[in-house]
A and B are shown apart, each in its own frame.
Chain A
Amino acid sequence: KQEVTQIPAALSVPEGENLVLNCSFTDSAIYNLQWFRQDPGKGLTSLLLIQSSQREQTSGRLNASLDKSSGRSTLYIAASQPGDSATYLCAVDSGGSNYKLTFGKGTLLTVNP
Protein backbone atom coordinates (compact mmCIF):
# COMPACT_ATOMS: atom_id res chain seq x y z
CA LYS A 1 0.00 0.00 0.00
CA GLN A 2 1.42 3.33 -1.07
CA GLU A 3 1.99 5.91 1.66
CA VAL A 4 3.09 9.49 1.07
CA THR A 5 4.76 11.64 3.71
CA GLN A 6 5.47 15.35 3.50
CA ILE A 7 7.99 17.16 5.64
CA PRO A 8 7.77 19.68 7.18
CA ALA A 9 4.09 19.90 8.07
CA ALA A 10 4.39 23.68 8.30
CA LEU A 11 7.00 26.20 7.25
CA SER A 12 7.26 29.93 7.82
CA VAL A 13 9.85 31.96 5.91
CA PRO A 14 10.60 35.62 5.19
CA GLU A 15 9.86 36.95 1.74
CA GLY A 16 12.63 36.39 -0.81
CA GLU A 17 13.94 33.19 0.70
CA ASN A 18 14.49 30.06 -1.38
CA LEU A 19 12.88 26.98 0.12
CA VAL A 20 12.47 23.25 -0.34
CA LEU A 21 9.45 21.10 0.43
CA ASN A 22 9.98 17.37 0.78
CA CYS A 23 7.85 14.41 -0.21
CA SER A 24 8.60 10.73 0.27
CA PHE A 25 6.67 7.64 -0.83
CA THR A 26 6.98 4.02 0.23
CA ASP A 27 6.47 2.19 -3.08
CA SER A 28 8.92 3.33 -5.76
CA ALA A 29 6.89 1.70 -8.55
CA ILE A 30 5.06 4.90 -9.39
CA TYR A 31 3.57 6.09 -12.67
CA ASN A 32 3.92 9.80 -11.97
CA LEU A 33 4.01 12.36 -9.19
CA GLN A 34 2.05 15.61 -9.08
CA TRP A 35 2.47 18.69 -6.90
CA PHE A 36 -0.62 20.74 -6.09
CA ARG A 37 -1.30 23.98 -4.32
CA GLN A 38 -4.39 24.52 -2.17
CA ASP A 39 -5.40 27.95 -0.92
CA PRO A 40 -7.67 28.14 2.16
CA GLY A 41 -11.21 27.14 1.26
CA LYS A 42 -10.26 26.57 -2.36
CA GLY A 43 -9.70 23.68 -4.70
CA LEU A 44 -6.47 22.11 -5.86
CA THR A 45 -4.31 23.80 -8.47
CA SER A 46 -1.84 21.59 -10.30
CA LEU A 47 1.70 22.99 -10.19
CA LEU A 48 3.94 20.37 -11.71
CA LEU A 49 3.60 16.82 -13.02
CA ILE A 50 6.65 14.56 -13.20
CA GLN A 51 6.49 11.30 -15.11
CA SER A 52 8.32 8.32 -13.60
CA SER A 53 10.92 8.49 -16.37
CA GLN A 54 11.72 12.15 -15.68
CA ARG A 55 14.08 13.63 -13.11
CA GLU A 56 12.66 17.12 -12.82
CA GLN A 57 10.15 19.65 -14.09
CA THR A 58 10.29 23.44 -13.95
CA SER A 59 7.64 26.13 -14.11
CA GLY A 60 8.67 29.70 -13.41
CA ARG A 61 10.08 29.90 -9.89
CA LEU A 62 9.12 26.29 -9.16
CA ASN A 63 11.29 23.24 -9.72
CA ALA A 64 10.26 19.72 -8.78
CA SER A 65 12.66 16.81 -8.74
CA LEU A 66 12.00 13.09 -8.58
CA ASP A 67 14.27 10.31 -7.36
CA LYS A 68 12.13 7.25 -7.87
CA SER A 69 14.65 4.75 -6.58
CA SER A 70 14.88 6.46 -3.20
CA GLY A 71 11.17 7.32 -3.09
CA ARG A 72 11.67 11.07 -2.84
CA SER A 73 10.56 14.27 -4.49
CA THR A 74 11.34 17.86 -3.66
CA LEU A 75 9.59 21.08 -4.63
CA TYR A 76 11.97 24.03 -4.78
CA ILE A 77 10.49 27.53 -4.65
CA ALA A 78 12.85 30.34 -5.55
CA ALA A 79 12.56 33.90 -4.26
CA SER A 80 9.41 33.21 -2.26
CA GLN A 81 6.60 35.78 -2.20
CA PRO A 82 3.67 36.31 0.19
CA GLY A 83 1.38 35.11 -2.60
CA ASP A 84 3.06 31.71 -2.38
CA SER A 85 1.45 31.17 1.02
CA ALA A 86 -0.73 28.07 0.72
CA THR A 87 -0.76 24.35 1.45
CA TYR A 88 1.38 22.32 -0.95
CA LEU A 89 0.31 18.76 -1.60
CA CYS A 90 2.34 15.95 -3.08
CA ALA A 91 0.42 13.12 -4.76
CA VAL A 92 1.62 9.88 -6.28
CA ASP A 93 -0.07 7.82 -8.98
CA SER A 94 1.00 4.22 -8.68
CA GLY A 95 -0.58 3.25 -12.00
CA GLY A 96 -1.44 -0.36 -12.55
CA SER A 97 -4.98 -1.33 -13.41
CA ASN A 98 -6.56 1.34 -11.20
CA TYR A 99 -5.07 4.78 -11.60
CA LYS A 100 -5.56 6.95 -8.54
CA LEU A 101 -3.66 9.55 -6.56
CA THR A 102 -2.35 8.92 -3.06
CA PHE A 103 -1.82 12.22 -1.25
CA GLY A 104 0.50 13.37 1.48
CA LYS A 105 -0.92 15.50 4.27
CA GLY A 106 0.63 18.63 2.85
CA THR A 107 3.01 21.37 3.92
CA LEU A 108 1.46 24.65 5.06
CA LEU A 109 3.72 27.41 3.77
CA THR A 110 3.59 30.97 5.12
CA VAL A 111 5.74 33.61 3.46
CA ASN A 112 6.00 36.73 5.61
CA PRO A 113 6.39 40.17 4.01
Chain B
Amino acid sequence: DTAVSQTPKYLVTQMGNDKSIKCEQNLGHDTMYWYKQDSKKFLKIMFSYNNKELIINETVPNRFSPKSPDKAHLNLHINSLELGDSAVYFCASSQAAIYGYTFGSGTRLTVV
Protein backbone atom coordinates (compact mmCIF):
# COMPACT_ATOMS: atom_id res chain seq x y z
CA ASP B 1 0.00 0.00 0.00
CA THR B 2 3.02 2.26 -0.59
CA ALA B 3 1.85 5.73 -1.65
CA VAL B 4 4.82 6.78 -3.81
CA SER B 5 7.18 4.01 -4.86
CA GLN B 6 10.46 4.29 -6.73
CA THR B 7 12.60 1.65 -8.35
CA PRO B 8 15.38 0.85 -8.07
CA LYS B 9 16.36 1.89 -4.56
CA TYR B 10 20.06 1.74 -5.40
CA LEU B 11 21.72 2.14 -8.79
CA VAL B 12 25.47 1.87 -9.43
CA THR B 13 26.61 2.43 -12.98
CA GLN B 14 29.58 3.53 -15.04
CA MET B 15 30.11 6.92 -16.63
CA GLY B 16 28.58 7.21 -20.07
CA ASN B 17 25.80 4.71 -19.44
CA ASP B 18 22.09 5.42 -19.82
CA LYS B 19 19.76 4.56 -16.94
CA SER B 20 16.14 5.00 -15.90
CA ILE B 21 14.39 5.43 -12.57
CA LYS B 22 10.72 4.62 -12.27
CA CYS B 23 8.12 6.21 -10.02
CA GLU B 24 4.52 5.28 -9.37
CA GLN B 25 1.92 6.81 -7.05
CA ASN B 26 -1.36 5.25 -5.99
CA LEU B 27 -2.78 8.36 -4.33
CA GLY B 28 -4.73 9.59 -7.35
CA HIS B 29 -2.67 12.81 -7.37
CA ASP B 30 -2.55 14.94 -10.52
CA THR B 31 0.98 16.29 -10.14
CA MET B 32 4.27 14.42 -9.85
CA TYR B 33 7.79 15.70 -9.30
CA TRP B 34 11.45 14.75 -9.41
CA TYR B 35 13.76 16.24 -6.80
CA LYS B 36 17.53 15.81 -6.52
CA GLN B 37 19.36 15.66 -3.19
CA ASP B 38 23.05 16.39 -3.67
CA SER B 39 26.03 15.30 -1.61
CA LYS B 40 25.42 18.16 0.81
CA LYS B 41 21.88 16.87 1.36
CA PHE B 42 20.31 19.90 -0.35
CA LEU B 43 17.01 19.08 -2.06
CA LYS B 44 16.14 20.87 -5.26
CA ILE B 45 13.31 20.42 -7.75
CA MET B 46 14.11 19.13 -11.22
CA PHE B 47 10.77 18.58 -12.97
CA SER B 48 7.05 18.55 -12.36
CA TYR B 49 4.28 17.02 -14.45
CA ASN B 50 0.57 17.72 -14.15
CA ASN B 51 -1.70 15.20 -15.84
CA LYS B 52 1.16 14.03 -18.08
CA GLU B 53 2.08 17.61 -19.08
CA LEU B 54 5.50 19.08 -18.23
CA ILE B 55 5.02 22.09 -15.96
CA ILE B 56 8.43 22.77 -14.44
CA ASN B 57 11.89 22.16 -15.88
CA GLU B 58 14.44 23.74 -13.56
CA THR B 59 17.51 24.24 -15.76
CA VAL B 60 18.29 20.56 -15.77
CA PRO B 61 20.74 19.29 -18.44
CA ASN B 62 18.93 17.83 -21.42
CA ARG B 63 20.59 14.49 -20.67
CA PHE B 64 17.74 14.16 -18.17
CA SER B 65 14.40 13.35 -19.77
CA PRO B 66 11.29 12.76 -17.71
CA LYS B 67 8.44 10.75 -19.18
CA SER B 68 4.90 10.46 -17.87
CA PRO B 69 2.89 7.71 -19.60
CA ASP B 70 -0.08 8.43 -17.33
CA LYS B 71 -0.73 10.60 -14.32
CA ALA B 72 0.23 7.81 -11.90
CA HIS B 73 3.70 7.33 -13.34
CA LEU B 74 6.69 9.62 -13.84
CA ASN B 75 9.94 8.05 -14.99
CA LEU B 76 13.35 9.69 -15.23
CA HIS B 77 15.74 8.69 -17.97
CA ILE B 78 19.34 9.87 -17.82
CA ASN B 79 21.67 9.66 -20.81
CA SER B 80 25.47 9.68 -20.80
CA LEU B 81 25.78 9.59 -17.02
CA GLU B 82 28.46 11.76 -15.42
CA LEU B 83 30.15 11.56 -12.03
CA GLY B 84 28.29 14.70 -10.96
CA ASP B 85 24.96 12.97 -11.45
CA SER B 86 25.64 10.90 -8.34
CA ALA B 87 22.91 11.87 -5.87
CA VAL B 88 19.68 10.70 -4.34
CA TYR B 89 16.68 11.26 -6.59
CA PHE B 90 13.27 11.61 -4.98
CA CYS B 91 9.91 11.31 -6.64
CA ALA B 92 6.95 13.15 -5.10
CA SER B 93 3.30 13.78 -5.79
CA SER B 94 0.63 16.25 -4.75
CA GLN B 95 -3.03 16.94 -5.31
CA ALA B 96 -3.68 20.64 -5.26
CA ALA B 97 -0.70 21.65 -3.14
CA ILE B 98 -3.06 22.65 -0.37
CA TYR B 99 -2.78 19.05 0.83
CA GLY B 100 1.01 19.03 0.80
CA TYR B 101 3.43 16.70 -0.89
CA THR B 102 4.16 12.98 -0.50
CA PHE B 103 7.66 11.73 -1.22
CA GLY B 104 9.01 8.35 -2.25
CA SER B 105 11.90 6.70 -0.43
CA GLY B 106 14.48 7.82 -2.97
CA THR B 107 16.89 6.24 -5.47
CA ARG B 108 20.58 6.49 -4.63
CA LEU B 109 22.45 6.80 -7.91
CA THR B 110 26.21 6.29 -7.88
CA VAL B 111 28.19 6.90 -11.05
CA VAL B 112 31.69 5.39 -11.07
Interface positions of A (Cβ within 8 A of B): 31-32, 34, 36, 41-44, 46, 49, 51, 87, 89, 91, 93, 95, 98-103, 105-106
A51 and B98 contact, CB distance less than 8 A: yes
Partner of B106, one of A34, A36, A43, A98: A43
Interface positions of B (Cβ within 8 A of A): 31, 33, 35, 40-45, 48, 55-56, 90, 92, 94, 97-106, 108
Which residues of chain B are within 8 angstroms of A101 by Cβ–Cβ distance? Answer: 35, 43, 45, 92, 101
B103 and A44 contact, CB distance less than 8 A: yes
- A42-B105, A43-B105 as given contacts; A99 in contact with B31, CB under 8 Å: yes
- A44-B90, A103-B42 as given contacts; A34 in contact with B105, CB under 8 Å: no
Which residues of chain B are within 8 angstroms of A99 by Cβ–Cβ distance? Answer: 31, 48, 94, 97
A43 and B43 contact, CB distance less than 8 A: no
B42 and A105 contact, CB distance less than 8 A: yes
Chain A residue at minimum C-beta to C-beta distance from B46? A100
Which residues of chain B are within 8 angstroms of A36 by Cβ–Cβ distance? Answer: 103
CA distance A101 to B35 in the complex (A): 9
Smallest CB–CB gap between A26 and chain B, Å?
16
Which residues of chain A are within 8 angstroms of B98 by Cβ–Cβ distance? Answer: 31-32, 51
CA distance A47 to B104 in the complex (A): 15
Smallest CB–CB gap between A47 and chain B, Å?
10
